Amino acid sequence: MGELTMAIVLATMTVMGVPTDKASPSRKATQVMCGTMNIYHESRGEPDIGMIAVAHVVRNRVKSPRWPNNVCDVVYQANQFSWTNDGLSNIPDLDNPINRESFIKSAWIHIVAGNHDDITNGSTHYHKVGHTPYWSYGMTTTAIIKDHIFYK
């Protein structure tokens, strides 16, 4: 990932008072970066509540024994989040001020989501309204937030 994206994540962590692992300060930043990238690609343009909901889905997966136990492994697990395998560049165009602001907001959302109650009610999956993916059959709808339906 680019130097600017990591600098934004580290600056946001500093401003928010997020402690880093003294043995490996970049380990925590890498996990925040993965969460930031997922929020940025999955929910930029959504209201804050929608972005927080996407962050909670990843957090819920990390807490579940059915999924990997860290943010990066959850986000980059094969075929879980469309942006990770759609063939398009995953590097945010941070020269564009709108994209840069959205990326900064995504980092902030990833960090503050841990201070909010889970508005998805334990959701581990979501999709955009208007789509009905095969995996949604048999799952319980836990929330509908803006343009996304959340399930567990």
Over residues 78-83, the mean pLDDT reads 92
pLDDT higher than threshold 70 for residue 137: yes
Position 19 scores a pLDDT of: 66
Position 81 scores a pLDDT of: 94
pLDDT higher than threshold 60 for residue 53: yes
Position 35 scores a pLDDT of: 94
Express as a percent the part of the chain with pLDDT over 70: 91
**Domains of the chain (ranges plus CATH)?**
3-119 (1.10.10.2520)
Question: Cβ contacts of residue 28 below 8 Å, gap of 6+?
Answer: 13, 18, 19, 20, 21
Q: What six digits make up the tokens of 131? A: 């789509």
Q: Which of 23-37, 44-58, 75-89, 132-146 has the lowest mean pLDDT?
A: 23-37
pLDDT higher than threshold 60 for residue 61: yes
Do residues 44 and 106 touch, judged by C-beta distance below 8 A? yes
Q: Distance between alpha carbon 49 and the CA centroid of its chain, in Å?
A: 13
Would you call 88 exposed, middle or buried from its count of C-beta atoms within 10 A (0-12, 13-18, 19+)?
exposed
pLDDT higher than threshold 60 for residue 99: yes
Over residues 78-91, the mean pLDDT reads 91
Position 84 scores a pLDDT of: 94
Name the most confidently modeled range: 32-36, 61-65, 115-119.
Answer: 61-65
Over residues 45-60, the mean pLDDT reads 93
Position 24 scores a pLDDT of: 61
pLDDT higher than threshold 90 for residue 7: no
Distant-in-sequence contacts of 104-109, Cβ < 8 A, 24+ apart: 104/8, 104/12, 105/44, 105/51, 106/36, 106/37, 106/39, 106/40, 106/44, 106/51, 107/8, 107/9, 107/12, 107/13, 107/32, 107/36, 108/12, 108/16, 109/39, 109/48, 109/51, 109/52, 109/55
